[in-house]
Copies of this chain bind each other. A is one copy, B any other.
Amino acid sequence: MKQIYGAVTAAKGFTAAGVRCGIKEKGTDLALIYSEVECSAAAVFTTNVFKAASVVKNLETIKAGRGRAIIANSGNANACTGEKGLKDVDYIRKFTADLLNIPVNQVFTASTGIIGQPMPMDKMDVGIMDAVAELDENGGDAASLAIMTTDTRPKTSAYEFEIGGVPVRIGAMCKGAGMICPNMATMLCFITTDAKISAGLMQKCLTAAVDRSLNSLSIDGDMSTNDSVIMLANGKSGCPEIIEDTPEHLLFEKALAQVCLELAQAIARDGEGATKYVEVHLVNAASYQDAKAAAMKVANSPLVKTAIFGQDPNWGRVLCAAGGSGASIIPGKTSLYFGDVKIVENGEPIKLDPEVARKPMLEKDLRITIDLGLGSESATAFTCDFSYEYVKINAEYHT
């Protein structure tokens, strides 16, 4: 399994484009991903009650487990836009499908940006035509730029591995989420592969990978109206079909997990106003659910995040957050580390030179480890600190 270049066009048979449609004030704002043949499709969407129009339509489309194109815009979320929003998605899908000469039910859509504003439909025809015209087998980078909002850099990942002696590729792009991207906190992620795999098995792999990566980001508590992860597999590598519970299945799952992990890390690193990247490792929990609940509670705690910004080894705030997560925790069995420095052992602080405890807090990357001593399950949450700049960005961002 080796890291390669190329984002969503790393895999064979995929082309992509990123063009300026004019929804945002400047920069490209419309991305298109296209497969030369029909694909198996899998997806994970926001669980928020308020779902953007594109998510409502995608939830219908994904039922068939098939797809061939994804068209995504930045600058307007098309959320809380009622019937008009749904009709606009219908139009965008139909227009894109007709230009690509594919069935409309093979087109997924996605949006990120301001909510409660109607889509500027007068601009979409030309934008979509441009995107279709610019589809290119090296278009992955351009597409990854076109979905950015407050992201400071594009986020992509791609890996190659062998299935039955045939090189197979997975490539992906995403944009920021959560506290990280407060303009409706939207996370979009699109993944392509030239592996041959059924929609059902790919969905299992994707659900597991996303749960331990993109769904383990600190995102202010919950998914936004627009969060979408969409994956297409076109089989163009020529590899044999990946069958469940085989070594090939495990290898595919591992590669996909790695891609999703790197994207989640990239999003946390690009957090708004972030001065530090933080991983919260919950280890030796009684269950994965416990581990994840406690890790996310710590990663979501403003008290923990501001302490990290202040470079303070405030282990009390960390334990307090974990202790309120509902996870099974026995204080007398709980230990805590900042970096490699053990701070708490069996529920009580270790006597340490304050400078030793503080040292890991001065690094750019901080790893917090909580060892529950109750089992063998673990989970990691990805987040960043909470700075003046975060408040500034979010207070000064106006609707």
Contact = CB atoms under 8 A, between A and B. Distances in A.
Interface stretch (A187-195, A259-267, A383-391): A383-391
A302 interface: yes
A309 B395 contact: yes
A320 interface: yes
Contact of A320 (B184, B319, B398): B184
Chain copies in the assembled complex: 2
28 contacts: A48-B323, A48-B324, A49-B324, A50-B331, A80-B316, A82-B332, A179-B303, A182-B303, A184-B317, A185-B303, A220-B302, A220-B303, A220-B321, A221-B300, A222-B323, A222-B325, A224-B320, A303-B394, A306-B390, A306-B391, A310-B395, A310-B397, A310-B398, A312-B395, A314-B398, A314-B399, A316-B399, A387-B391
Contact of A49 (B331, B349, B388): B331
Interface of A: 47-51, 79-82, 114-116, 179, 182, 184-185, 220-225, 297, 300-303, 306-307, 309-310, 312-317, 319-325, 327, 329-332, 344, 347-349, 386-388, 390-392, 394-399
A221 B344 contact: no
Contact of A184 (B79, B221, B316): B316
A1 to B, nearest CB: 35
A182 B306 contact: yes
A308 B305 CA distance: 20
A355 B291 CA distance: 46
A246 B134 CA distance: 77
A53 to B, nearest CB: 11
A398 B301 contact: no
A331 B80 contact: yes
A349 B303 CA distance: 33
Given A399-B312, A399-B314, A399-B316, A47 B324 contact: yes
Contacts of A387: 391, 395
A320 B388 contact: no
A325 B220 CA distance: 12
A330 B50 CA distance: 8
In the complex, the 4 A-B pairs of residues with the closest C-beta atoms, listed nearest first: A222-B324, A310-B395, A306-B394, A49-B323
Contacts of A297: 221-222
A329 B321 CA distance: 28
B394 A321 contact: no
Looking at A48, A307, A395, the one whose CB has the most chain B CB atoms below 10 A away is A395
A194 B349 CA distance: 43
A37 B313 CA distance: 46
B391 A301 contact: no
Contacts of A50: 319-320, 323, 329, 331, 347
Max chain B C-beta neighbours (<10 A), residue from A322, A331, A394? A394
Contacts of A399: 312-316
A49 B297 CA distance: 13
A150 to B, nearest CB: 12
Contact of A315 (B116, B306, B324, B396): B116
Contacts of A79: 316
A185 B320 contact: yes
